[in-house]
Amino acid sequence: METKKLVAQMLQGNNRALARLISLLENRESQIAIMKEVSPHTGKAYTLGITGPPGVGKSTLISRLVSHIRKQGLTVGVLCVDPTSPFSGGSLLGDRIRMDEISQDPGVFIRSLATRHNLGGLSPTAREAIKLLDAAGKDIIIVETVGVGQVQWDIKKVADSVLVVLIPGLGDNIQIMKAGIMEIADIFVLNMADREGADDMLNELKLSFRPLNSTWQPPVIPTVSIFNEGICDLYAAVVAHRTFMEEEGLLQQNRRERDLYYLVEMVKTALEDEVERLLVEKEEFRKIGEQVKNTTMDPYTGADKMVKMILSGS
Amino acid sequence: METKKLVAQMLQGNNRALARLISLLENRESQIAIMKEVSPHTGKAYTLGITGPPGVGKSTLISRLVSHIRKQGLTVGVLCVDPTSPFSGGSLLGDRIRMDEISQDPGVFIRSLATRHNLGGLSPTAREAIKLLDAAGKDIIIVETVGVGQVQWDIKKVADSVLVVLIPGLGDNIQIMKAGIMEIADIFVLNMADREGADDMLNELKLSFRPLNSTWQPPVIPTVSIFNEGICDLYAAVVAHRTFMEEEGLLQQNRRERDLYYLVEMVKTALEDEVERLLVEKEEFRKIGEQVKNTTMDPYTGADKMVKMILSGS
């Protein structure tokens, strides 16, 4: 019942209720209760994913972009996903968010989310947090992730437009990340574009990219976020991409496909949780686990037995 | 029945039967049938995982190591896991395996495995292929993976010892991958150690590593694999790590924990496959999918319904 009240307050624009609800997402049961309430109120916000390697100045860029968007009379929600080392559980970058000038603005809501088991991947509750910000009436939602390689794909599953931020002189990193980065970017941002090598990098980015099954050619926008340069051009590129997506009917189509994708993911996750629960609580499952551990049963036979028990509802 | 015959031939040391069985692993049903047959014959081989960024000379290093191990009178199986771009499905590195001098030796079995949806992660059948090589009587099994970040952890789930290969001058890459790399390595290999900066890198590696909950201090072995230098030291380090693991009782313990981990993974994968099947074949599931896609049902409610149907066996 507390959930319903909080949702009502959040829908009225109460940022505290919103923050509380995001915390409640961590609990699976409240998550489902909250999301059933909230779902009908979603679909209005536009989500920007901003990603790139550590050290390219994403936080400063985002604070500049937020200020610019606020001047257009729009409200903004920002979700920062901190990478955690899979071992230590600690943050790799520490308190890297310095958004003092915008964090006092009631039209801006900022929240950090932890990741789980991922080097820069999305938080398991990130998608739900985005839906909450949407229902709470934020016009633009910015999701920041840090990632290399495969984990960058996560951002594609929640964002309407993906901005990939790079800087001159990244060198070999680009080689390694090319496969992933080139294909997820709707817009490239070349930050710190006053540095040596910026022109070469601009040309390299423009040349190396080949769009896949799309008539959208990702633009490369040079910025110097610390001096607030290029931010207007960057936002114009975002609006251009949004317009393109709407005119082609891709915005709705992509969102529906993402919903369907998440439907399947949620079913799988719920079943995984059920397996973990049964392994602890169900006597037969515990026994199979013991037998596999002391090698009196091979894991293939064990898995077979468990799956049959689950699917027969026994 | 064909499976049983092939397994019998493989257990006799027939490499063709072994190769055929590895191919059959791709099919889920034959996989389970094969693994139930094979499981009782496993547990004798020692598995080395060899990982590191592209371009550090892993293939040459492995061919040198294989020759050295053969001279000790031991047989070797090598599994190479090719990274594929998640988009193109193609290989990033092309035909990078040049193992001519060892591939004619009947005491050596080499096989490439494709990855699925991973930038350098393990093939979904890699673990089973390792068990087959084990049952086929290979004394040492080498698994090569290319990876950055999180995917490197995969190798820890199948290997008794993990060798991380680096070269001097990797620079920033190291910064990015440190979190992952430092924690999975049982042994560091500094290949191309005749290059400039090797001494600095050796010292950096030795200093930067802090073992977690372990009395094993990962050694850093310099090699120049192209000139066959340092290979003897490297294999001695592998034997030292193996001896340490056996004396501490960690080898059996780790293997049992990995079996238990895979039991759970297999159950989860089987349930995921079942969900995919039901989405196509089951009328009620198709309907929910349609409703979510045309937004007449939110995905949370849809997932809830599906999970309840699966777990009740209906």
Among A173, A257, A276, select the one facing B176 at the smallest CB separation: A173
Backbone φ and ψ of B105, nearest 5°? -80, 120
CA distances from A17 to A39, A127, A134, B311 (A): 16, 18, 14, 34
CA angle A125, A131, A136 (to 5 degrees): 125
| A28 at B interface, C-beta within 8 A | no
- In angstroms, the separation between the Cα of residue B234 and the nearest Cα of chain A is 26
CATH says A42-248 is which class?
Answer: alpha beta
| CB-based contact A92 B179, cutoff 8 Å | yes
CA separation, residue B193 to residues B25, B147, B277 (Å): 39, 21, 52
Partner residue opposite A149 with nearest CB, options B148, B175, B295: B148
| Nearest Cα to Cα of residue B139 among B231, B68, B214 | B68
Give strand pairing partners of B164: B51, B188
**For B29-35, which contacts have Cβ atoms below 8 Å and span 24 or more sequence positions?**
B30/B3, B31/B125, B31/B128, B32/A300, B32/A304, B33/B3, B34/B3, B34/B7, B34/B128, B34/B132, B35/A298, B35/A300, B35/B128, B35/B131
A91-105, B7-21, B128-142: lowest mean pLDDT where? A91-105
**Best CA proximity match to B157, nearest among A86, A178, A128:** A86
Q: Which helix (H) or strand (E) holds B82?
A: strand B76-82
CA distance B22 to B35: 11
SS (H, E, C) B255-299: HHHHHHHHHHHHHHHHHHHHHHHHHHHCHHHHHHHHHHHCCCCCH
Residues 158-187 of A with CB under 8 A from B: 170-173, 175-176, 179-180, 183
* C-alpha separations of B156 from A115, B82, B129, B186, B191 in Å: 21, 17, 16, 10, 21
Judged by CB atoms closer than 8 Å, whether chains meet at B300 and A39 is answered as yes
User: Of B142, B149, B84, B147, which Cα lies nearest the Cα of B116?
Assistant: B84
For residue B312, how many other CB atoms are within 10 A of its CB? 9
Stronger pLDDT, B230 or A53, i.e. the higher one: B230
Residue A150 has pLDDT above 70, yes or no: no
Q: Tens of pLDDT along B74-112?
A: 999 999 875 543 322 333 333 334 455 666 788 999 888
Model pLDDT for residues A216-242, shown as the tens digit of each residue: 888 999 999 989 999 999 999 999 999
Sequence-distant (≥ 6) Cβ neighbours of residue B219 within 8 angstroms: B187, B188, B237, B240
Categorize the per-residue pLDDT at B214 as very low, low, confident or very high, splitting at 50, 70 and 90.
low
d(CA A213, CA B192): 41
CA distances (Å), A143 to each of A68, A114, B124, in order?
16, 13, 31
CB contact under 8 A, B289 and A180: no
Q: Do B259 and A151 touch (CB under 8 A)?
A: no
Rounded CA separation A145/B205 (Å)? 28
Nearest CA distance, A218 vs chain B (angstrom):
17
Phi, psi for A77 (deg, rounded to 5): -115, 135
Which chain B residue shows the shortest CA-CA distance from A273?
B268
- Reference A234, options A244, A219, A250; nearest CA is A219
Find, in chain A, the residue whose alpha carbon is nearest to that of B280: A264
CA separation for the pair A123, A54 (Å, rounded) = 17
Query: What's the CA gap between B79 and A192, in Å, rounded?
Result: 43
**Structure tokens belonging to residue A312:** 């027969």
- The reply to whether ipTM tops 0.90 is no
Q: Compute the nearest-CA separation of B227 from chain A (Å).
A: 26
Q: Does B149 lie at the interface with A, CB-CB under 8 angstroms?
A: yes
Q: How far apart are CA A145 and CA A154, in angstroms?
A: 9
Q: CB–CB of B119 and A288 under 8 A?
A: no
Chain B environment of A147 (Cβ under 8 Å): 149
Order of strands across the sheet that contains A140-146:
A108-114, A76-82, A140-146, A46-52, A161-166, A187-190, A220-222
According to CATH, what is the number of the domain B43-248? 3.40.50.300
- Between chains, do B171 and A172 touch, taking CB under 8 Å as contact? yes
Task: Report which of residues A295 and A5 the model is more confident about.
Answer: A5
The better pLDDT of the pair B179, B161 is held by B161
Q: Which residues pair with A143 in a beta bridge?
A: A49, A79
CB B115 within 8 A of CB B122: yes
pLDDT for res A38:
93
User: Which of A264, A275, A293 would best serve as a mutation to test chain B binding (most B beta carbons within 10 A)?
Assistant: A264
- Count Cβ–Cβ pairs < 8 Å, chain A vs chain B: 195
B151, B259, B276: residue with CB nearest A292 = B259
Percent of chain A with pLDDT over 90: 43
In sequence order, the 6+-apart residues with CB closer than 8 A to the CB of A254 are: A160, A245
pTM of the shown model: 0.70
pLDDT above 60: residue B8: yes
Record: contact B259-A311, CB cut-off 8 A: no
Q: Taking CB atoms and an 8 Å limit, are A260 and B304 in contact across chains?
A: no
* Distance in angstroms (rounded) separating the CA atoms of residues A75 and A88: 36
Yes or no: say if B11 and B135 are a contact pair by the CB < 8 Å rule: yes
Do residues A186 and A219 lie in contact, with contact meaning Cβ atoms separated by under 8 Å?
no
In angstroms, the separation between the Cα of residue B105 and the nearest Cα of chain A is: 32
Q: How far is CA A99 from the centre of its chain?
A: 19
Res. B130: pLDDT tops 70 = yes
Q: With contacts defined as CB-CB under 8 Å, which chain B residues touch A312?
A: 313
Residue A25 confidence (pLDDT) above 80: yes
Stretch A74-101: mean pLDDT: 54
**Of A177-186, B37-46, B278-287, the least confident:** A177-186
Q: Which two tokens stand for residue A68?
A: 């610019």
Contact yes or no for A279 and B264 at CB 8 A: yes
CB-based contacts of B302, cutoff 8 Å, min separation 6: A263, B288, B289, B291, B292
Percent of chain A exceeding pLDDT 70 equals 82
Contact list in B for residue A267 (CB cut-off 8 A) is 275, 303, 306-307, 310
Q: What is the average pLDDT across B59-66?
A: 91
Contact criterion met (CB < 8 Å) for B299 and A260: yes
Domain boundaries, chain A: 1-41, 42-248, 260-311
Question: B15-24 vs B2-11: helix axis angle to the nearest 10?
Answer: 140
Q: What is the CA radius of gyration of chain B?
A: 22
Q: Is the pLDDT of residue B204 over 70?
A: yes
Residue A186 · residue A216 · CB < 8 Å: yes
From chain A, pick out residues whose CB is under 8 angstroms from the CB of B180: 85-86, 119
Residues 6+ apart with CB under 8 A from B123: B81, B113, B114, B115, B116, B129
Is A86 in CB contact (< 8 Å) with chain B? yes
Q: What is the mean pLDDT of chain B?
A: 83
- Cβ neighbours of B52 in A, within 8 Å: none
The reported pLDDT for the residue numbered A88 is: 27
Average pLDDT over residues B222-229: 94
